[in-house]
Amino acid sequence: MEETRKGTVTSLSSVFPAEEAQKAVKRVQDTISDKKSELDYLRGFVADNNNLINLVHKLPEQLSHDIMVPFGKAAFFPGRLVHTNEFLVLLGEGYYAERTSKQTVEILTRRGKSLDSRVDSIEAIIKDLQAEASFFNATASEALEGLVEIREDYVEEDCKQESKSGSLKQSAPNFGKTTADDQQYARMMSRLDELEKQEELASESGNHSDQSEETTSDTDDISYQRPTDNNLQSSQDFRQGMLLDQTKNKSMAAEIPKKQNHQEDIADQLNFASLAVQSKVQEKENVPKKVRFVDQGEKLVHPEEKIVKATTASKGEVQHQTSQTSFDSRKAFTGSIIEHAENIKASPIEQSSTLSQVSGSQPKKPVSRFRMQRK
Amino acid sequence: MSTLRDLQRELENKANDLSKLQKDIAKNHQVRKKYTVQLGENELVLKELDLLKDDANVYKLIGPVLVKQDLAEANANVRKRIEYISAELKRLDATVQDLEEKQNSKKDTILKLQQRIQSLQAGKGKA
């Protein structure tokens, strides 16, 4: 059972060396500036076109215009513009057509539209490129900070035996939560979304350098994942697993009754949980426990594949639940826990069994992987 | 020793070939771009010609003179031109693909050569 839970740890800088990432940033920036000059060029065309349209509009207002006619490169002589409603319009490829002012304006507006669409497409391309550049930038800085990527594959076979062992372990079943679950789940999720946004804002605002901050955000992760799972799993074993965990972690003891009534006020509980854990985790010896928590929550919510990031630096930012496997590498850089909320409801048995497996095998679990960054 | 030098010479040759191929590819891309622009222009012309009424006067600039052309004739000419350009584009695509395949195989051989040279050097270093 233990072997199946082993994952791989890759340091980010070995996959993406910081220099390479910076080179990539530079390249992308170059492309952006190219595109920008192209955009300026096109904008010039658009302006020309608009001026021309105005002129063509105005010309037929009079029968003739007094103008200075260019003669050669340097000379002009006075002349008169007659037939002000006749235009010879270049259609392209050497084809000209005789048109009236009105028809000419039609042609010009059509051209303007095609120009506009080209401008739009180039703007979109520039936007994409900028996103790419910022991504490379983030990668470079994270590679410098020495992030590691931890991957563990979810092994499907575990489920069956786990569910057996899980059901055996359930010694304190509780009932009657099922009806309330859906409502609670909805409330919970909205609250969680809010919290996530707050955290993202906080991490973006940029003071997230010290260890204590990081621990805080990590604990937030835990505390918010736990109630979620709690709700999702009406089956008892999860609660059981939680009780086990909580008794292990003495600091959480005060919280247990609350958990058991299964909360009137979720927000309160969340805050309480995070406070309680935080106060304790600031002491280093609790770190292993904390990490285990993270891992467990992760296991629960992310059956496919999981990436738990332990990071010395910065962002304990919680990612959106919508994150997909295709974005794994991206998410992995941000030092966060990725969960798939949509999977949670779909396969409760699987998850609960996973949980009991996890809680069963916890002592064997090598903590060092997750701690490695802290040393 | 001589084998190492041979290998290095071979590597150099291959690298030259590769850079030649890359130049070809770049040239092809440029031509392709030109044709794409022309195609766009022609399509624009065709659209405008379609919008013209039958009695409209259409001229074609040939050298320094504007030659009056029948609308239907101009239309047919433009269509033919578009067909030609599309065919040309297809042809260019095929050649570019071909060149890229060649480039990839060349890259592979160069990589292998480099590995051989490295292993030779490593062996020499030990001995």
What confidence score (pLDDT) does residue B5 get? 85
Average pLDDT over chain B, rounded to an integer: 90
Greatest CA separation found in chain A? 105
Is A98 within 8 Å of chain B by CB?
yes
CA dihedral A277, A241, A234, A296 (to 10 degrees): 60
pLDDT at B20 over 60: yes
Could you tell me the CA-to-CA distances from B41 to A92, A95, A259 in Å, in that order? Answer: 6, 11, 70
Cα(B110)–Cα(B96) distance, integer angstroms: 21
- Mind telling me how many Å the CA of B1 is from chain A's nearest CA? 35
Domain ranges of chain A: 20-128, 153-374
Mean per-residue pLDDT pooled into runs of 10, chain A (375 residues): 61 78 90 95 95 93 91 91 90 90 93 93 95 88 80 67 48 48 79 85 60 43 44 45 46 44 47 47 43 44 42 40 42 48 45 43 47 49
Closest approach of A66 to chain B, Cα-based (Å): 26
Task: Give pLDDT, residue B54.
Answer: 84
**Crossing angle of helices A236-248 and A211-232, rounded to 10°:** 150
Give the domain range for residue B57: 2-126
pLDDT at residue A159, rounded to an integer? 55
pLDDT at A112: 94
Secondary structure E strands in B3-113: 58-62, 65-69
pLDDT at A30 (0 to 100)? 95
Name every chain B residue with its beta carbon within 8 A of the beta carbon of A96.
58-61, 66
DSSP-based three-state secondary structure for A86: coil
Contact A112, A46 (CB under 8 A): yes
DSSP A124-165: HHHHHHHHHHHHHHHHHHHHHHT-EEEEEE--TTHHHHHHHH
**Residue of chain A nearest B62, judged by CA positions:** A94
Q: Indicate the CATH number for domain A20-128.
A: 1.10.287.370
Look up the ipTM and state it.
0.74
Tell me the CATH number at B103. Answer: 1.10.287.370
B70-115: pLDDT as tens digits? 999 999 999 999 999 999 999 999 999 999 999 999 999 999 988 8
Smallest CA–CA distance from A87 into chain B, residue: B57
Please indicate if any CB of chain B lies within 8 Å of the CB of A102: no
Tokens of A86: 């006749």
State how many domains chain B has. 1
**Distance between CA A83 and CA A62 in Å, rounded?**
10
Does the CB of A96 have a partner CB in chain B at under 8 Å? Answer: yes
